[in-house]
């Protein structure tokens, strides 16, 4: 359970991955493992008590790791987690030395994680950071793969010559111009994001995708460099060919072809962002989000989204209102004080009694 916290008048941010984890230290796994069902998920011998899950003095229950053996971090900069392990919760302060079953260490991070750290590092480099800056950044829909490697593709594939795809010459001139002018975001008005998404999703799993391998000393920025082999260039040509032969124009706006997956809407609601594997921090189909700050001399201030909206009843005015607000990037200022709550009531409170 990835948890982060900060408090008023306290210059620290706190991260922890403190949850119930089977107490399988590496020493026990090396002694008792028969095979791995998945990475770091061992199948243990069950015919001897020597392979019983361990219990620590501070274990919350028998067979679980104690709190002292689980990852946590206090940082004066920032903490973050983008669905990778605890290892890189702060780009400058890796957490290491924990048993393997708890999570991976010293490994290449997802593009989404690398985008998140890039954004966080840019924000803290311009301290102090405001709530508005954080709110703008988390919805910015930046695409890490494009920021890092679009120019490599343009240099290799956009030479003015067609690209041969399966014996057919494909004119990529228009697509190249669109990508060159694209701002490397998946915002609603962006033109080029759909070309890049189609291309990237056709190549991202290649083992030879990068020219520079993962470097443990530079985990946010490696691996990098697009391997612009003939196969990669042809994949771009195939992307253009597929789009030219389909229903999506090369210069399509995101707003016209990407919508929130919500049924029973009279009008589809456009959705910005993209897939984590493309390097979006602003991923598709976000659910709950909040940005909280502590203004001097004022109550806690929180801005929130429930992007799927609160009601499941298509006849309710709250079936899609929050979804539309998310599409419009209109954060809801959450009522925190009693006066603010009462001023925000939309119906009389319902009191339940036994």
Read off the pLDDT of each residue in 280-309 and give the average, rounded to a whole number.
94
Cα–Cα dist 97/58, whole Å:
18
Q: What percent of the chain has pLDDT over 90?
A: 94
Alpha helices in the chain (DSSP H): 26-32, 111-124, 131-138, 144-157, 173-181, 193-203, 230-244, 321-327, 338-343
The answer to whether 103 and 81 have CB atoms below 8 angstroms apart is no
> What residue ranges define each of the domains in the chain, with the CATH number in brackets?
144-276 (1.10.1400.10), 286-343 (no CATH)
Burial class (CB in 10 A: 0-12, 13-18, 19+), 121: middle
Kindly give, in sequence order, each residue whose CB lies less than 8 Å from that of residue 222, ignoring residues fewer than 6 positions away: 108, 212, 213, 214, 215
What's the rounded Cα separation, in Å, for the pair 180 and 84?
31
Burial degree of 85 (CB within 10 A; 0-12, 13-18, 19+): buried
Look up tokens 């679009």; give the residue.
150
Residue 290 pLDDT > 90 = yes
Of the candidates 138, 154, 137, 136, the residue with the CA atom closest to the CA atom of residue 195: 154
Task: Give the model's pLDDT for residue 347.
Answer: 85
Cα(129)–Cα(220) distance, integer angstroms = 21
Q: Is the pLDDT of residue 319 over 90?
A: yes
Mean model confidence pLDDT for the chain: 96
Residue 223 to residue 211: CA distance in whole angstroms:
8
- 183 three-class SS: coil
Q: Is 208's pLDDT higher than 90?
A: yes
What dihedral angle (degrees, nearest 10) is formed by the CA atoms of 24, 30, 32, 38? 70
Residue 167 pLDDT > 90: yes
Per-residue pLDDT band at 227 (split at 50, 70, 90): very high
pLDDT in tens, 31-77: 999 999 998 999 999 999 999 999 999 999 999 999 999 999 999 99
Give the span between the Cα atoms of 194 and 146, in whole angstroms: 12
pTM: 0.93
- Is pLDDT above 90 for 354? no
pLDDT at position 169 over 90: yes
Mean pLDDT value across residues 273-289: 95
Query: CB of 226 within 8 A of CB of 232?
Result: yes
Residue 349 has pLDDT above 90, yes or no: no
Q: Are strands 13-16 and 33-38 parallel, antiparallel or unpaired?
A: unpaired
pLDDT for 198 equals 98
Mean pLDDT of 243-255: 96
Q: Is pLDDT at 346 greater than 90 in this prediction?
A: no
Q: What is the C-alpha to C-alpha distance for residues 166 and 67, in angstroms, rounded to an integer?
A: 58
- Is-contact 146 317, C-beta < 8 A? no
Span 212-236, mean pLDDT? 97
DSSP string, 213-241: ---TT-TTT-SEEE---HHHHHHHHHHHH
Query: 68-121: per-residue pLDDT in tens?
Result: 999 999 999 999 999 999 999 999 999 999 999 999 999 999 999 999 999 999
User: Rounded to whole angstroms, how far apart are CA atoms 290 and 293?
Assistant: 10
Q: Return the pLDDT at 348.
A: 87
What pLDDT, on the 0 to 100 scale, is given for residue 1? 84
Q: Are strands 301-306 and 332-334 parallel, antiparallel or unpaired?
A: antiparallel
Q: Is residue 307 pLDDT above 90, yes or no?
A: yes
Residue 234 confidence (pLDDT) above 90: yes
Checking if the pLDDT of 185 tops 90, the result is yes
Please state whether the peptide bond connecting residue 128 to the residue before it is cis, i.e. omega within 30 degrees of 0. Answer: yes
Task: Summarize the confidence of residues 284-288 as an average pLDDT.
Answer: 91
């Amino acid at each position: 359970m990835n948890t982060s916290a900060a408090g008023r008048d306290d210059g620290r941010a706190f991260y922890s991955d403190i949850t119930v984890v089977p107490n399988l230290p590496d020493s026990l796994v090396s002694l008792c493992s028969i095979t791995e069902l998945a990475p770091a998920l061992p199948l243990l011998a069950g015919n001897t008590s020597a392979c019983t899950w361990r219990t620590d003095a501070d274990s919350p229950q028998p067979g679980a790791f104690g709190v002292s053996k689980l990852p946590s971090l206090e940082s004066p900069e920032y903490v973050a987690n983008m669905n990778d392990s605890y290892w890189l919760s702060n780009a400058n302060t890796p957490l290491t030395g924990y048993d393997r079953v708890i999570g991976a260490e010293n490994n290449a991070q997802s593009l989404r994680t690398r985008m998140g750290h890039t954004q966080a590092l840019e924000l803290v480099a311009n301290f102090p950071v405001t709530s508005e800056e954080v709110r703008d950044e988390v919805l910015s829909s930046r695409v890490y793969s494009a920021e890092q490697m679009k120019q490599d593709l343009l240099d290799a594939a956009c030479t003015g010559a067609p690209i041969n795809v399966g014996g057919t010459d494909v004119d990529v001139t228009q697509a190249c111009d669109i990508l060159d002018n694209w701002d490397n975001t998946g915002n609603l008005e962006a033109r080029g994001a759909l070309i890049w998404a189609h291309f990237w999703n056709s190549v991202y799993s290649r083992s030879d995708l990068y020219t520079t391998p993962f470097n443990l000393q530079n985990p946010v920025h490696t691996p990098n460099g697009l391997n612009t082999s003939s196969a990669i260039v042809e994949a771009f040509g195939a992307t253009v060919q597929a789009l030219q032969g389909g229903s999506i124009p090369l210069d399509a706006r995101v707003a016209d072809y990407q919508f929130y997956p919500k049924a029973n809407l009279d009008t589809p609601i456009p959705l910005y962002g993209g897939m984590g594997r493309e390097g979006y921090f602003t991923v598709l189909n976000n659910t709950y989000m909040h940005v909280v700050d502590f203004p001097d001399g004022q109550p806690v201030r929180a801005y929130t989204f429930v992007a799927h909206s609160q009601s499941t009843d298509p006849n309710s005015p709250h079936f899609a209102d929050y979804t539309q607000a998310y599409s419009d990037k209109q954060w809801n200022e959450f009522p925190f004080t009693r006066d603010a709550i009462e001023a925000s009531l939309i119906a009389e409170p319902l009191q339940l009694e036994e």
